[in-house]
Amino acid sequence: MSDDCGYDVESITVLEGMEAVRKRPGMYVGNTDDGSGLHNMVYELLANALDEADAGHGDRVTLTIHGDREITIEDRGRGVPVDLHPLLDRPCVELIFTTLLYRGMFGLDAYDVTGGLHRAGVSVVNALSERLTVDVFRDGAHWRQRHERGEPCAPLERVRETSSTGTRVRLSADPEIFLDPVLDFDVLATRLDALAWMFPSVTLELFDHRDDRHSSFHTPGGMIEALAGAGGVDEVLHARATREGVRVEFALRPTRWARPARTFANGQETPGHGAHLRGLQRALHGALLSDSTRPWRDVFTHHGVGGASILRGSFDVMIHVCVPRTRYAVATTRELESPEVFEAVAQVAAPVFEAWLQERGEDVDRVLERWSPMR
């Protein structure tokens, strides 16, 4: 993405309602008692950092756990804009961290896609933090602003001159909001491991100062490398394409005993799956119905087996979609409901399944024989 894509102060669109965040935090970050809401706040900041990397700015994101409820997320991107907003006469970085925004950190044109919580942006993270400090490296200077429970403690400060670029956010989760907040190294490591194959050009580092643990995540081969088993990458069915503004990438490995599907939208895991997985199921079902060399119609008609069952039981699945306007079954991105995603995935996947059926006959029979009651 080029620098003229709206990454500036004029890309901000303001909504009212920050006071509602602290009153009803579960609407924005999910459960505040079991640790998931706390980790969702980290994922929001991480999504913004990865947006920068995905746009071609920066190749490393670092997470550092300082204590049970304190963490720093740092990227090497362009840095959050610090100019005064032309209409509101406040620094852009202050608006971003103190006002609910329409979409992610910036307006509609700042990024192709933006993950995060209910499109509310990092202002939600700030509102639910006892303390938050944002350091911005941009325009030849190091800038800093401190906040407490969503409110700035002082104006934006110019700390020193520097040639570095990027954004660093350090937050301490508010114990008034979160019951016994504890950042879990393993939970974060699992998320970073998945993100590494979605963003193969980025290195993700996780440090934990509580017990001096450290892990680094980098998967240059992307999801193909992540999914390849003993048979190597030749076994993996892979596609990457854009349809009607929706970026689709998936990898499928045929297997006799499949693991649960891993599905993501805009860098956020969707454990309830949704439209993207249904698109794959539809494409497989259609390809099998159109295959005149095998009697799949009889299986579907008389034995109740369809593309959904076969995909779930016979393929290891990884899929990631990027869509400008996501729609979820609930606010915290568990199940993707954007209808345009279903069509886009089905269109991209159909020729992949058709080629697999035509070109790998023996593999097809071996993988799908469990679904053939008539054999």
What is the per-residue pLDDT for 172? 97
Q: Tell me how far apart the alpha carbons of residues 213 and 194 are, in angstroms, rounded to a whole number.
A: 19
What is the per-residue pLDDT for 301? 55
| Boundaries of every domain in the chain | 9-217, 222-371
Tens-digit pLDDT profile for the chain (375 aa)?
445 556 666 655 554 567 788 988 988 888 999 999 999 999 989 988 988 888 889 999 999 999 999 999 999 999 999 999 888 889 999 999 998 753 434 443 444 444 544 445 799 999 999 999 999 999 999 999 999 999 999 999 999 999 999 999 999 999 999 988 899 999 999 999 989 999 999 999 999 999 999 999 999 999 998 888 655 667 899 999 999 899 999 999 888 777 889 998 888 888 888 899 999 999 988 888 887 666 565 666 555 566 778 888 888 999 999 887 766 555 555 788 888 999 999 999 999 999 988 888 777 777 777 665 444
> Is 1.10.10.10 the CATH classification of the domain at 222-371?
no
Question: What is the CATH number that goes with domain 9-217?
Answer: 3.30.565.10
Burial readout 204-240 (b: 16 or more C-beta within 10 A, e: otherwise) = bbbbbeeeeeebebbbeebbbebbbeeeeeebbbbbe
